[in-house]
Amino acid sequence: MSSTLTTALRGLRLTPFLPIRPSVTLPSIPSRPLSTTSVPLNKMSPQYLAAKGLNKKSKAKNNAPRQPNFINMLRHLAVLSPRRIPAPLRMARNRYLRHWTIHRAWLMYRRKEREAREKVWMRQYQSMNHACEELRLTSGPGSRDEGSLFRTALEKWGVYGLKGVPIEYTRAQTETPARVAWNHDWKR
Amino acid sequence: MTRSQQVARPIVRSLRQATTSTSAACQSQPLAIRQFSSTPNRCDGPTTTTTNTSGTPAAPGPEVLAPKKTPPISLVKQGTEEELAKYLSPELGSRRRRAALATTGDVPFEQLPYQCFQEARKILAQDREEKISKIIAETAKIKRLEATDASTFRGGEEYKQKRLESMRNHVEELKILADINDPLVKRRFEDGMGDMNKPIYRYLAERKWRSMDYKIITQRVNQFHIIPDVLPAFDPTMDVKMTFRGYKVAPGAILDSLDTEVPPTLRMQVFDKGERMLSVVVLDSDVPDPESDTFRRRLHFMATNVSWDPTSKSLNLNRLNAGSSSASGNTETGSLAVSWLPPFAQKGAPYHRLSVFVLEHADNKPLDVAKLKELYDSEVGRQKFSVKSFRDKFNLTPVGFNIFRTVWDEHTAEVMARHNIPGADIEFKQQRITSLKPPRKAKGWEAKRQKPKYRSLWKYTKRIKGLKFK
């Protein structure tokens, strides 16, 4: 019983109910079943407007390409827009001075951090340099001549290329970390 | 806002308007309370009409800004608006802000309890400590170096002096760096209260000068061709500003000859420490000379032996005494060598550039005023003056510069008459140079049809308004 009813309803839905046909012939009127509104109200539907060529927005978007100078101008204005350039900070004097103080302190802090970092890097570089110099001046194990260890140390086989191992791995790879990470008491 | 307040809002608003209109008569007392919110007042206190009147003065008066009595913070936080208004005006801001004001009214700026600000001050103070310890270490090093014998160095005495010089410069730099991040120093400098004996204020002043005024002066030097015309090379290192009759003058401005009848006041600022001797020279470099068809120079003013240090502010050239260099009463230090000749330009002559030069003496030695007078204080002496030869003759260094211009105007003749300067009746005229080419024949359709052959067209070709054909 119910299945027959639904099929009947489906059939009803398939044939749209149009109360009054307007005088204008419409290419494709969207079917709005079960609505009591008349078709003239329906004239604002996008399909209708597109068919009549009245939907200016969509037309401008699709058809008319923007002039390059206009695009340039838009870009320029976009750069100047408050989204890109935030409003200037407006502060009274004391507040500005506090702001300035904090800014200077922040710059100072960052500068100190940077200098400390650079110092460490410089030290590391220097110590590596000294190590290489030491290697260059030692005559190698056995009968090898002076500086052969240095040359071996600076070989870059297998560092670059497809099958190369990154330079970060140039230490003896072990299964587990060392029990003592660094022997600070080591003396030559 | 509670629900009941929301409901009552329109009623309260209309009531408030009514009370405002009725209480217009009793607005004599300066209540001046602007309502920041359109919500009704809290109902827990007695509402008077006077608190709601909306007289709006332009700025809050001192009676608003000054807290009447410092209330305890608990009262500010808990009391009603009316109770609170007895102590701190609602104009001062939110309850929170008023609480802050009530508790921190007389805290000095650097101790204001803003957390980030205080943390920043700690970082800056630590940096300052570092800089000061560096200064102490460096001065100790300088002393040690001064004590050592120069023969121990490979470079000898020259090396030692050079090293000392660079170390002293480093100390000066550190002195500036120690104070440059202090907000109070910045504030004092901006207020013009900085002590110019201290290196930081001199540094800030120089930075400010270099940022704009120096650029303008060097631009004037270049665009008015002072550099090849008056001096072969010149770079100002001190700030010289001019005021004529108390009015500031932009460098290079064309001034009225009435204003320039009296010598200007120079506001000068030097940026390096110590006392020095200065000479001030004003010269006109555009005096027309029709005999030789050139322009010549003329000295308009010369003062010398002006002792100057960074704390000195202004030099009134009118008050320089012509006699000795003794400073007595109203006169400035320094002596007048050549008195002020009012600048003038004769009619038809192009503008005259009057450059004001400030020259520094070598080794702070004063110049001989009598000799200067003998050399330059005469008609011929004024014409013979040249800044370059003056600089070379007396071993001076030009350090400061300013310029103004003068042209013939309605007061020039009267000023010249007052100071017995001849030549007010002379007018310079451009010499007319006629072309050597023969006159060109008339061209065009009309010119071609002037002959009797075109008699029929004469009505079109003969009577043209504004044209005349032979």
Q: How far apart are CA B401 and CA B382, in angstroms?
A: 20
Q: Do the chains contact at A105 and B123, CB–CB below 8 Å?
A: yes
Q: Is A74 left (phi over 0), alpha (psi -120 to 50) or beta?
A: alpha
- Tell me if A88 is assigned to some domain: no
pTM (predicted TM-score): 0.67
First-residue to last-residue Cα distance in chain B? 97
- Nearest residue in A to B112, CA atom: A98
Chain B CB contacts of A102 under 8 Å are 116-117, 120
- Chain A residues with CB under 8 Å of B97 CB are none
Whether residue B181 lies within 8 A of chain A, CB to CB, comes out as yes
Q: Which of residues 99-128 of B touch A (CB under 8 A)?
A: 109, 112, 114, 116-117, 119-121, 123-124, 127
Least Cα distance to B76 among B86, B66, B64 occurs for B86
For residue A7, the model assigns a pLDDT of 45
Instruction: Tell me if A105 and B187 make a contact (CB, 8 A cut-off).
Output: no
Report which of B209, B127, B133 is spatially closest to residue B171, judged by C-alpha positions. B133
| SS3 (DSSP) at A162 | coil
Q: What is the mean pLDDT of chain B?
A: 84
CB contacts of B119 in chain A (<8 Å) are 105
**CA dihedral (B239, B242, B247, B250) positive or negative:** negative
The answer to whether the CB atoms of A101 and B119 lie below 8 A apart is: no
Asked whether residue B22 carries a pLDDT value surpassing 50, the answer given is: no
pLDDT-derived band at A172 (thresholds 50, 70, 90) equals confident
How far apart are the CA of B122 and the nearest CA of chain A, in angstroms?
9
- Give the Cα separation of B349 and B352 in Å (integer): 8
Burial of B300 (0-12, 13-18, 19+ CB in 10 A): buried
Residue A76 in any domain: the answer is yes
Q: How confident is the model at residue B81 (pLDDT cuts 50, 70, 90)?
A: confident
pLDDT tens column, B260-304: 999 999 999 999 999 999 999 999 999 999 999 999 999 999 999
> Could you tell me the pLDDT band of residue B97, with boundaries at 50, 70 and 90?
confident
Q: Which domain holds residue A67?
A: 2-80
Task: With CB atoms and an 8 Å threshold, state whether A101 touches B117.
Answer: yes
In this predicted structure, the answer to whether residue B54 has a pLDDT above a threshold of 50 is: no
Six token digits for residue B276 = 């020095």
Position of tokens 């020279």? Answer: B281
Which range is least confidently modeled, B73-77, B243-247, B384-388?
B73-77
SS3 of B25, please?
A: coil
Distance from CA of A98 to the nearest CA of B (A): 6
Residues A18 and A52 in one domain: yes
Confidence of residue B46 (pLDDT cuts 50, 70, 90): very low
Report CB contact under 8 Å: B120, A101: yes
Q: Does residue B140 belong to the interface with chain A, where contact is any CB pair within 8 Å?
A: no
Q: Is B351 on the interface with A (CB under 8 A)?
A: no
Indicate the class that CATH gives domain B230-418.
Answer: alpha beta
Q: State the Cα–Cα distance between residues B333 and B304, nearest whole angstrom.
A: 9
Which one of A33, A59, A80 terminates a domain?
A80
| Interface test with chain B among A91, A94, A98, by most B beta carbons within 10 Å | A98
Chains A and B form CB pairs within 8 A to the count of 37
What is the band of B70 on the pLDDT scale with cuts at 50, 70, 90? Answer: low
Burial A15-35, CB ≥16 within 10 A → b, else e: eeeeeeeeeeeeeebeeeeee
Residues of A in Cβ contact (< 8 Å) with B114: 98
Whether A71 and A9 share a structural domain: yes
pLDDT digits (tens, 9 = 90+) for A4-50: 444 444 444 444 444 444 444 444 444 444 544 444 444 455 555 45
Q: Specify whether A76 is located in the same domain as A7.
A: yes
Confidence label for B86 from pLDDT (cuts 50, 70 and 90): confident
- Verify that A75 and A113 share a domain, yes or no: no
Tell me how far apart the alpha carbons of residues B70 and B72 are, in angstroms, rounded to a whole number: 7
Which of B109, B116, B181 lies nearest to residue A94, judging by beta carbons?
A: B109
**pLDDT at res. A40:** 47
Domain boundary among A45, A80, A115: A80
Burial annotation B115-143 (CB, 10 A radius, 16+ → b, else e):
eebeebbebbeebbeebeeebeebeeebe
Task: Tell me if A167 is assigned to some domain.
Answer: no
Tokens 């030009």, residue located: B398
What residues in A contact B124, CB-CB < 8 Å?
Answer: 101, 104-105, 108
Q: Are residues A47 and A75 in the same domain?
A: yes
Domain span(s) for CATH 3.90.280.10 in chain B: 230-418
Cα separation, B98 vs A15, whole angstroms: 74
User: Which chain B residues contact residue A105 at CB under 8 A?
Assistant: 119-121, 123-124, 181
H-helix or E-strand spanning residue B396: strand B396-406
Round to whole Å and give the CA distance between B63 and B308: 46
| Residues A71 and A107 both lie in one domain | no
Asked whether residue A52 falls in the same domain as residue A117, the answer is no
- Counted domains in chain A: 2
Cβ B117–A100 below 8 Å, yes or no?
A: no
Q: Which residue of A has its CA nearest to B180?
A: A104
